[in-house]
Structure 1
Amino acid sequence: MRIRFFASLAVLALMSAPAIAEDLVLLHAAGSLRGALSDVAASFEAATGTKVKAKFGASGLLKDEIAGGAKAEVFASANMEHPRALALAKRSGPVVLFARNKLCALVRPGLAIEPATLLDRMLDAEIKLGTSTPRADPSGDYAWEVFRKADKIKPGAYALLDKKALQLTGGPTSPPAPPDRTIYGNLLAQGAADIFLTYCTGALAAQKENPQQQIVGLPDALAVGADYGLTVINDASAPAYKFALFILSTEGQQLLAKHGFAAPGAAP
């Protein structure tokens, strides 16, 4: 139903489009989507001849930029909250769930951890626990959701984790990742953290760059899923609607799956 509604909006946009089509789509997207949506954009460009100019970053910061008047057409967020805020403010159209992710623990080489012992090691005073910045970056919000779940297992765990967590990325003053490297793997390699709570897709990308780094799945009692939302900003060009639909298409979804994202209908 939501995709059909999205499609109907695209038809209206195409009907009202000028005779000369725009040749550039402006995309704002979560940093965790960099690899996947870069591939999607390349396929879209090859199929249509329309270029996609992408800006990747923390979804909360991108949302604030758009709300403040930054020029954007398609917004792909690592949560549903930020695009819905734009829709509620009448800055964009409807919000569509287009991909799913979940949190994993990226662990430095040599540190013995398995799902059953993960919480104990996270609570260990000697272990440096890295996260993204909550409110600015949904990955940080999801990490704090893990902390709340931990408190139900071990009362008092939330306060300890909230105090010790190192907000190493995703904030307005956080250092950028090196070119063509994942920030999470790089931070572990530098020794800034022993464990980093991040998206499983990001952990997989980091492990490809740093094969000795470990990926530990969160046990069921701590597991947190991430729903990704897509919206088109008001007054976007017709090609922007076409690109949003391309993300939702079979080809777009297959490219997202290659990077570890689950389809909207899949269990988180």
Structure 2
Amino acid sequence: MQLKVHAAKQLLSVIPACFVLIALAPAQAQPARIPAHVYAAGSLVAPLTQAIRVAGFGATDIADPTFGPSGGLRERIERGEAADLYLSANMEHPRRLAAQRPKTLVIPFARNNLCLISRDAVGLTQANAIDKMLDPNMRLATSTPGIDPGGDYAFAVFKRAEKVRAGAEAALSRKALRLIGGPTAMAPIDGHTPPASIFLADQADILLSYCSGDEQILSEVPGLEVSRLPPEIDVVATYGLALLTDNPAAARLALFLLSDKGQDILARNGLARIVPGEQ
């Protein structure tokens, strides 16, 4: 709870007094609202959409969010695109933006894990996960490192696999098909998510992706199964938000995501809550 209280104080401290005066002024004296522009990781589509609705935001408060690979979104913001709140699947990209903007706040707000999604015929289990990923007959897909944090986490899994099986990191890095985010990503099939599209187009046998999206991909593609990674190669993804401006709606949305209600929504969508005191 201490983290949420501290985060709330941080966020409130960046809202200038002028916004408080505007809120207290008669309705007829208030200027037109400027909708907050939110840039968010693609893995947050469902929970963020729900959070905006449950929190009671309207189109005049929050513009339609822009979703995509966190690294690509960061680059767009660096090139000058207007964003008030940035929600990344890692902490590194928000911190890079904050390094250029001294008043920017960076706060962890959720966690995730990676799972292995495969066709039933592969017979993949937590126990044989390393063997199946290394099998030269198995096409292994990941996100693109650098552009999509999912790819960075996948390659962190490969690095851990090296400690279990000599030569695993090089072999897995070499065979990984970077099919989500980046220049070699395949275009999603209309009406389907990028992970589901990979299997619908028969581009991979195994996909290393966020566990939070497992229910969605299973609903889109029949004949798939999901397996957790062995503990010795598992990694934890920490999601971070960056409040880039003093837009009050952006600050309120950030606070909502850190609140009990916001954390409940994230948890219902497969993400893990932030434990107070952790970074």
Letter in 2 for 1:8: S
Change (3 A) 1:68 1:247: same
Q: How does 1:164-243 map to 2 (within 5 A)?
A: 164-172=175-183, 174-234=185-245, 236-243=246-253
Aligned to 1:263: 273
Letter in 1 for 2:131: D
Change (3 A) 1:264 1:12: farther
Following superposition, the deviation at residue 68 of structure 1 comes to 1.1
**TM-score, normalization: structure 2?**
0.88
**139, 142, 148: which one aligns with 2:153:** 142
Contact 1:44 1:50 in 2 (8 A): no
User: Counterparts of 2:155 and 2:202 in 1: how far apart (Å)?
Assistant: 22
Contact 1:116 1:219 in 2 (8 A): yes
Change (3 A) 1:130 1:226: same
Moved more, 121-130 or 39-48: 39-48
Letter in 1 for 2:247: S
User: Counterparts of 2:171 and 2:146 in 1: how far apart (Å)?
Assistant: 19
Contact 1:25 1:53 in 2 (8 A): no
Following superposition, the deviation at residue 176 of structure 1 comes to 3.8
Aligned to 1:250: 260
Following superposition, the deviation at residue 173 of structure 1 comes to 5.7
Aligned to 1:161: 172
Contact 2:178 2:184 in 1 (8 A): no
Aligned length: 267
Q: What CA deviation, in whole Å up to 9, does each residue of 1:129-183 have, x standing for no partner?
A: 0000000000000000000001010111111111100000111463442344221
Following superposition, the deviation at residue 4 of structure 1 comes to 2.5
Q: What CA deviation, in whole Å up to 9, does each residue of 1:211-236 have, x standing for no partner?
A: 421001001011011000011113x4
Give the 3-state SS of the residue equivalent to 1:105 in structure 2.
Answer: strand
Following superposition, the deviation at residue 15 of structure 1 comes to 3.0
Contact 1:86 1:92 in 2 (8 A): no
User: Counterparts of 1:133 and 1:13 in 2: how far apart (Å)?
Assistant: 43
Following superposition, the deviation at residue 203 of structure 1 comes to 2.3
Change (3 A) 1:5 1:175: same
Aligned to 1:34: 45
User: Counterparts of 1:48 and 1:11 in 2: how far apart (Å)?
Assistant: 23
Change (3 A) 1:233 1:13: farther
User: Counterparts of 1:48 and 1:63 in 2: how far apart (Å)?
Assistant: 24
Q: What CA deviation, in whole Å up to 9, does each residue of 1:86-135 have, x standing for no partner?
A: 00111761111001101000112321011110100100100000000000
Moved more, 59-68 or 183-192: 183-192
Give the 3-state SS of the residue equivalent to 2:204 in structure 1.
Answer: coil
**TM-score, normalization: structure 1?**
0.92
Moved more, 240-249 or 225-234: 240-249
Contact 1:45 1:51 in 2 (8 A): no
Over the residues paired in the alignment, what is the CA RMSD in angstroms? Answer: 2.3
Segments of structure 1 that go 5 or more residues without pairing to the other structure are: none
User: Counterparts of 2:255 and 2:190 in 1: how far apart (Å)?
Assistant: 29
**127, 137, 140: which one aligns with 1:126:** 137
Following superposition, the deviation at residue 17 of structure 1 comes to 5.7
User: Counterparts of 1:91 and 1:63 in 2: how far apart (Å)?
Assistant: 16
Contact 1:102 1:200 in 2 (8 A): yes
Identical pairs, percent: 36
Give the 3-state SS of the residue equivalent to 2:120 in structure 1.
Answer: coil
Following superposition, the deviation at residue 9 of structure 1 comes to 2.3
Contact 2:186 2:198 in 1 (8 A): no
Letter in 2 for 1:252: G
Change (3 A) 1:12 1:216: farther
**53, 64, 68: which one aligns with 2:79:** 68
Moved more, 171-180 or 72-81: 171-180
**Greater C-alpha Rg:** 2
Following superposition, the deviation at residue 14 of structure 1 comes to 3.1
Deviating 4+ runs (over 4 angstroms): 46-49
Aligned to 2:112: 101
Contact 1:21 1:239 in 2 (8 A): no
Moved more, 150-159 or 248-257: 248-257
User: Counterparts of 1:54 and 1:6 in 2: how far apart (Å)?
Assistant: 20
